A and B are shown apart, each in its own frame.
Chain A
Amino acid sequence: MTSAQDASQGVSIPHLLARNAAQFGDRPAYREKEFGIWQSWTWSQTASEIEALALGLLSLGVAPGDHVAIIGRNRPALYWSMVAVQCIGAVPVPLYQDAVVEEMTYVLEHCGARFVIAGDQEQVDKVLEVKGATTVIEHIVYFDKRGLRKYDHTAMTSLSDVQAQGRDASDEMVKTMQSRRDGLGADDTCVMLYTSGTTGKPKGVVLSNRNVIETAQNSSNFDTLGPGEEVLAYLPMAWVGDFIFSIGQAYWTGFCVNCPESAATMQSDLREIGPTYFFAPPAIFESHLTQVMIRMEDASRFKRGMFHMFMDHARRVGPAILDGASVGLWDRLKYALGNVMVYGPLKNTLGMSRIRVGYTAGEAIGPELFDFYRSLGINLKQLYGQTEATVFITQQPDGQVRSDTVGVPSPGVEIKIAESGEVYYRSPGTFQSYFKNPESTASTKDAEGWVATGDAGFIEEATGHLRIIDRIKDVARMSDGSMFAPKYVENKLKFYPNVLEAVVFGAGRDRCCAFINIDLTAVGNWAERNNIAYSSYQELSQHPQVLEMIEGHVNAVNASVAQDEMLSGCQIHRFLVLHKELDADDGELTRTKKVRRAVIAEKFNDLIEALYSDAPEVTTETEVTYEDGRKGTIRATLSIRDGNVSPKLEAVA
């Protein structure tokens, strides 16, 4: 068997598909749970499904260079659509499935897609609403037929009909498809992905085949990924990470991509599949941990005692054992016993028994959370990346894992820190350009290929690991000239399970103030245990005991921030607990759940003013968007609390 890592055959994803079909023909490429059973497709079945789809799309009139929008949840058919689109020389543009109509309008207009492949009725309805006005959409292809039978089908076809058409395609058609596919070069566009847009409108990032394949190759070698890996594809298809894991690395190494039955069954599907390679943002790890802790509190006293005893031991020696450090025999024995009694069953419940390599990224992860998973023996690591880099900028090698760094430069990546503190990189994954936006391209990527990340950070001299402080544009000065890095403080707050989200203000001001969002699962459970009655999120958020608890967290964070000589000015003087959860539908978060500071500052201007006054409470009215798109307002009176602030340390020169 020729090696999977033979670069000459892989100039494009369709080429890799052909190679996998020849080499791993009868191994599974995709699985999806449907009607309660895991259905699977081998690489050769996948190749023929994709070919039929490509021919069908060709006969619908997809032209080379066309952008084809793909919207829906992770399903094999939609992954096939991406590759089928590539096979006929067009460019797939995956969109966030939970985008509301306005967001979708912007992207569909901007990329000028004539064809849209939609997962189900919900997505088709949105596309139909967008169609016409300012977009040039000609035809919709849909996968799930439910509810769509009675729609006007003049410009709409089901995916299975498109494939049927493809299977009947003429020889001439087949030749056209083959010539377009064989003509794909390493520098042709592989995919266009829209950034989530923390600031302003999303930008279309153009990635070439070389970007994707070289990155997939480097990163697979870094963690020695092989064709035997199993991954669960549950993160949005529009996100660069999913594209790299579920297409880039999957096609490069030939491993199997598993699609969950529905978004709600992710946890049980995870357990059934038991992935060996797993990726999740910190929020997922956190919600799993919260669930475990809540269930442990309901367990019998014996079980609870055993759980805590062994978890304490694991916290002490677990990470060291995982890193291969020296640990005494007695501790090892006790850990082995714990593995049988607690860790093993727990990992099994979490669906993490077989994880060989796990990554978290996107946001900083709390040290306790991180250590919890590592102490169980799960090889969880951090990586740092962005869409423009085809994900990988830095990652942590096995054995050098810490919660406060993001690792060493990934293979092939060069890093430098500018004088302003901003991190720059140059890599094989560096994007080609922003679509229809040469100014932004020029301001982000210089002539030598160095890309500005927009993050401030530094490299630790002793270890060579990169540490990220904050977004460079968020790092500012307070009125007395001391450094203000809101993310640093927010992350410390968010490490408390009760705090879902925090937004700290203070640029140009004399002191820092904060908005806090409580986590309904954790705080709701706590309220239940303490016999605290509440009827709504709003009521719970303003409960005096809840405010007291949050005040305790704020004080603890202040105490820890005060230790940092550079950032001791960032202690929180006053805070309030918001009456609504910050939501992407209201524009307060991006679709990847990052806070949009400017939007929040503008929207809740009255609250900020109140924080910087002496008022003990503030009454406000907020517009909210319901799931069906209707708008309403909620009115609330929020009390404002003060945090304990330690005197500033004098910066040592």
Chain B
Amino acid sequence: MLENQTLAPSDGYVTADGRQIGGVMMDLRNITLRFGGVEAIKDISFDIREGEIRAIIGPNGAGKSSMLNVISGFYVPQEGEVWFNGAKRPPTKPYQVARQGIARTFQNIALFEGMSVLDNVMTGRLRQMSSGLFSQALWWGKAQTEEVENRAAVERIIDFLEIQSIRKTPVGRLPYGLKKRVELARALAAEPHLLLLDEPMAGMNVEEKEDMSRFILDVNDEFGTTIALIEHDMGVVMDLSDRVVVMDYGRKIGDGTPEEVRNNEAVIDAYLGVSHD
């Protein structure tokens, strides 16, 4: 098994394309997650470092989405510890995790279909809004200034993801690739430190995948957002990510740079297929 154990938690490293990666942001230690008698995740440890793009790959049913749900606080593992920003995280509710600066997108798009793109992205700003129900209903005082500020922030994201032309379009009318982009916009609107993407390119065509890859890289580059993503498309994973965790049947079978993972026997056998030459 490959391990990056040589790197101290507080040290950073420099990626192949010259980006400086910081110390450990999220540390998962010996996580085990059970659903009744089924062990979805078995004793997995890995970390996510400040500023990196970290991929989790594996065949169907390997436990990738469960892992992401553990990170987002939706599942509480029976064993193991989740350390975030140097502190052990007690079992928390998802909204508390969101307040800590973690945002996510979903494998099967979870947008409000009847609302416009703009309104959907605005919901991502919920954490930044504090005016009361009454003030918001009357659009008075604090609610007014808040709305203007948040709208400005949302517009910057709309511009960034180049979705100006669908700003007022109801999400239900959009094609799949654009819905995925709107979901990314909503996650970004929360200004996360850690962004979790669950299969951001699933079901996309080549052009949409290229666009999405560029946006993911741009998000990481412009906002310095740390990104953890699950993805099936190996080409995308190898191009995008700095380090890759490989899972199979709930276990970790590899961890390292794309190059290391690609040459790892166990990974090739389990996931990429056994080579016959």
Contact = CB atoms under 8 A, between A and B. Distances in A.
Given A146-B218, A147-B222, A627-B207, A36 B165 contact: no
B259 interface: no
B152 A35 contact: yes
B165 A268 contact: yes
Contacts of B207: 627
B246 to A, nearest CB: 29
Given A35-B155, A627-B207, A262 B222 contact: no
Contacts of A265: 164-165
B165 A264 contact: yes
B147 to A, nearest CB: 13
A36 B222 contact: no
A581 to B, nearest CB: 15
Contacts of B160: 146
Nearest to A628: B210
Interface in A263-304: 264-265, 268
B232 interface: no
Interface string B115-128: 00000000000000
Contacts of A37: 155
Interface residues of A, number: 16
Contacts of A388: none
B218 A36 contact: no
B10 to A, nearest CB: 25
Interface string B137-152: 0000000000000011
A473 interface: no
Contacts, number: 36
A362 B221 CA distance: 43
Contacts of B221: 147, 149-150
Interface in A606-653: 627-628
Contacts of B210: 628
Contact of A264 (B152, B158, B164): B164
B173 interface: no
B167 interface: yes
Name, among A36, A37, A265, the residue most crowded by chain B CB atoms within 10 Å (CB to CB): A36
B159 A34 contact: yes
A265 B151 CA distance: 19
B265 interface: no
Interface of B: 18, 151-152, 155-156, 158-160, 162, 164-165, 167-168, 207, 210, 218, 221-222
Given A35-B159, A149-B221, A265-B164, 16 more contacts: A33-B164, A34-B159, A35-B152, A35-B155, A35-B158, A36-B151, A36-B155, A37-B155, A147-B218, A147-B221, A149-B222, A150-B18, A262-B165, A264-B165, A268-B165, A627-B207
30 contacts: A33-B164, A35-B152, A35-B155, A35-B156, A35-B158, A36-B151, A36-B155, A36-B158, A36-B164, A37-B155, A146-B160, A146-B222, A147-B218, A147-B221, A149-B221, A149-B222, A150-B18, A150-B221, A261-B164, A261-B165, A262-B162, A262-B164, A262-B165, A264-B165, A265-B164, A265-B165, A268-B165, A268-B168, A627-B207, A628-B210
